[in-house]
Amino acid sequence: MTDAKVLIEIDARIAAIRETMQRLTEQASSASGAASEGRLADRMADLEQQLETLQNERAALS
């Protein structure tokens, strides 16, 4: 795959993760209970790690 195609794929994945993070943020504001908040926090931490990994991959290709 060419670098341009890889960058497009990474950008799409970054956008999808950011959208998911936005939805989770909205859900967190309406969530009640420690269990719900804990699951959302865990999911958000996972997404932040994925986002950081993709951003590093993208930076390495740029």
The residue type of 61 is L
Residue 57 has pLDDT above 90, yes or no: yes
Q: What is the pLDDT of residue 37?
A: 78
* pLDDT, tens digit, 9 for 90 and up, residues 17-49: 999 999 998 887 776 676 677 888 899 999 999
What's the burial of 25, exposed, middle or buried (CB within 10 Å: 0-12/13-18/19+)?
exposed
User: Hey, is 7 helix, strand or coil?
Assistant: helix
